[in-house]
Amino acid sequence: MRSFTHQQLSLTARCLAAIVGAYCFALASSFGMVPILINMFDSLKADAVYFATLYSYIFGFIAIIYVFCRRKAWLAWRDIIIGCTSFMTIHFVGAIG
């Protein structure tokens, strides 16, 4: 059985980050944009959910492209996790306030 090389593991980590990480980032951005649109732009809740869903596709595509532009795979994972945490913090703080 052949062992994986460093390049194969890096590509696998990037593909997983692009698939799983971008999905999680798009989901978190959808949740995080709702309080921003409601509080900052005085939108109705239904309109905020609609536009947040539209913007989440853009954020997801940006995350997929970003993952393959980073020099190291762990940096891409780190940035995806930081972005997801930021959007979810906005969501929970916006839901309280």
- Taking the chain (97 residues) in consecutive chunks of 10 residues, what is each chunk's mean pLDDT? 82 95 97 94 94 97 96 95 97 84
Range of the domain at 46: 31-96
pTM as predicted: 0.90
Number of separate domains in the chain: 1
Q: How far apart are CA 77 and CA 14, in angstroms?
A: 8
**pLDDT at position 56:** 97
Residue 95 has what pLDDT? 81
Q: Is residue 44 part of a domain?
A: yes
pLDDT at 26: 98
Task: Give a yes or no: residue 35 inside a domain.
Answer: yes
Cβ contact 76:66 at 8 Å: yes
Does a structural domain hold residue 12? no
Contact 51, 33 (CB under 8 A): yes
Q: Is residue 71 in some structural domain?
A: yes
**Is residue 51 situated within a structural domain?**
yes
Q: Do the domain assignments include residue 5?
A: no
- 7 inside domain: no
